[in-house]
Structure 1
Amino acid sequence: MSDDFIESVFSSRVRIRILKTLIKYKEINITKLSRELGVNYKVIEYHIEALKRLGIAEEKRFGRIRIIRLSESDPRIIVIERFFTELEQAIANRSDSQSQGSS
């Protein structure tokens, strides 16, 4: 995996939030994604296009409705999902051990 890919995927908080939301919902309408994150539609669209260019997001169209999902067949998606899961577990474990230490 090249540094360019890593930097591009994790280049902004909005892009990271989009990734986490796509992992959670598997696929989502861009308008709903915009509302869910409280981020302007055009900003969401910009980041989705970047993820599509990187080859890790796909778009389906049903008339004017655009559904976005992660490219599940891409092994990089599995690694990204595992990264978020393990990081969240490590953060939870750390806060649990800190709260036990202060008791």
Structure 2
Amino acid sequence: MQTSKIAENRNLVEDVLGSRARVKIIKALAFDEELTISLLIRKTRLNYVIAMKHLKTLESLNLISEKRFGRIRIYRYNIENPKARSLKKFMEIWEDK
């Protein structure tokens, strides 16, 4: 693996795990699989603006996806993504689930 690729991957890991709010969102979605924005905010105790900012970041990294039904937004953990799958496994080990 090239040095630039290693640095790029390291930055991705830091981007994903470098925010407590982002980790809360990942944990909530990884273990519940799908949540409406309202339930996600309630579970993580984040405000709407902060949650949306982090959800957009996680969506751009293909760790989650969004479905819309009119005004209802449902966020889903992208378990098909190998990185998302390994991240969930990591959390299961550390959380003893």
Please classify the TM superposition score into its range, dividing by the shorter chain length: 0.7 to 0.9
Match of 2:57 in 1: 50
Match of 2:16 in 1: 9
Q: RMSD of the alignment, in Å? A: 1.2
User: Radius of gyration: which is bigger?
Assistant: 1
Match of 2:80 in 1: 73
> Percent of counterpart pairs with the same letter?
34
Question: TM-score, length-normalised on structure 2?
Answer: 0.86
Structure 2 segments unaligned to the other structure (5+ residues) = 1-5
Structure possessing the higher relative contact order (Cα contacts under 8 Å, 6 or more residues apart): 2
Residue 5 of structure 1 and its aligned partner are, at CA, apart by 1.3
Number of equivalences: 89
Pairing of 1:21-100 with structure 2 (within 5 A): 21-89=28-96
Structure 1 segments unaligned to the other structure (5+ residues) = 90-103
